């Protein structure tokens, strides 16, 4: 059984219990969805100051200690599958893979097969098990985003990288094809992001109390009359951050049907091309990159 104890900070007071726990899980890269946490609450696995709380809408108070207990998943809930992986680097602590577009990173209710997690169980003898339901996974890319991901083999490596993701010290760069001709050669988008008020599975920009600071740098690499090729660097790691920020500017990512409502590209035109971080064992900065997908090059012709 896993246990987590969190103290409510002044910035978090008044938040719904499920929202507070979801933000904690996101910041720690634990991979727990809001639905999963709501089920934990209603099933009696969350305690506030030692007392059981079964109300996801309960408002937390400053200074309260909240404990979550999570039962271990049965090992047979996730099966190893012989799915080909593009592994570009590997050592005792982690591996770097180039994830294809269209691959879901981890299982969800009703979808326990054909994910990256299933492929990892087959490809690697050893994976971190801090989150047994998502072995080896310390961060994620959206299903339709391709590119560089780090897979962790040990729990020490998992904790080291989770801390770096939490502190936003990991360097990440993406490339994207977007609709329209970008006005500036480079700029910073600094607009808060939160859950969409009506569409629960979507995010949106806003300035309400449940939004969170978000910052994205972009550089325009190429322009045509109707499209632009951008390099993107997120300074924060909010859900769908790049997609929401670009859509807000009026330059949605091509193929993004959730935020762009366009199908001018065969897939979502977003690729994680670079990842740099401190090696969990050597303490040295390491960096990895992948080439721009062929379909991006063909489109620009």
Q: Can you point out the beta strands (E) in 127-260?
A: 146-152, 171-179, 186-190, 193-195, 203-205, 215-223, 227-234
Helices 34-42 and 17-27 cross at an angle (nearest 10°) of 130
How far apart are alpha carbons 287 and 149 in whole angstroms?
11
Q: Where are the alpha helices (DSSP H) in the chain?
A: 17-27, 34-42, 116-123, 155-166, 241-248, 294-300
Q: Checking DSSP bridges between strand 65-70 and strand 46-48, what pairing results, if any?
A: antiparallel
How far apart are alpha carbons 127 and 153 in whole angstroms?
4
Active site residues: 142
How far apart are alpha carbons 174 and 118 in whole angstroms?
25
């Amino acid at each position: 059984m896993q246990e987590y104890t969190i103290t409510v900070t002044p910035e978090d007071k008044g938040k719904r219990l499920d929202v507070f726990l979801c933000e904690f899980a996101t910041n720690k890269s634990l991979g727990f969805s809001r639905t999963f946490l709501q089920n934990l609450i209603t099933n009696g696995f969350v305690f506030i100051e030692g007392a059981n709380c079964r109300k996801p809408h309960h408002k937390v108070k400053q200074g309260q200690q909240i404990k979550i207990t999570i039962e271990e998943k049965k090992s047979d809930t996730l099966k190893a599958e012989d799915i080909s992986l593009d592994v570009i680097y590997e050592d005792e602590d982690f591996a770097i893979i180039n994830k294809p577009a269209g691959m879901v990173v981890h299982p969800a209710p009703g979808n326990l097969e054909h994910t990256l997690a299933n492929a990892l169980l087959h490809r690697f003898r050893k994976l971190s098990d801090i989150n047994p339901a998502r072995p080896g996974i310390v961060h994620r890319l959206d299903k339709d985003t391709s590119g560089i991901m780090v897979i962790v083999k040990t729990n020490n490596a998992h904790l080291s990288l989770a801390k770096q993701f939490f502190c936003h010290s990991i360097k990440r760069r993406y490339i994207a094809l977007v609709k329209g001709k970008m006005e500036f050669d480079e700029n910073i988008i600094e607009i808060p992001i939160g859950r969409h008020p009506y569409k629960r599975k979507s995010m949106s920009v806003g300035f309400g109390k449940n939004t969170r600071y978000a910052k994205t740098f972009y550089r325009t690499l190429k322009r045509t009359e109707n499209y632009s090729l951008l390099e993107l660097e997120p300074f924060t790691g909010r859900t769908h951050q790049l997609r929401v920020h670009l859509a807000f500017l009026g330059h949605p990512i091509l193929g993004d049907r959730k935020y762009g409502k366009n199908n001018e590209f065969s897939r979502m035109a977003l690729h994680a091309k670079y990842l740099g971080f401190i090696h969990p064992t050597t303490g040295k900065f390491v960096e990895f990159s992948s080439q721009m997908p062929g379909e991006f090059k063909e489109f620009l012709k």
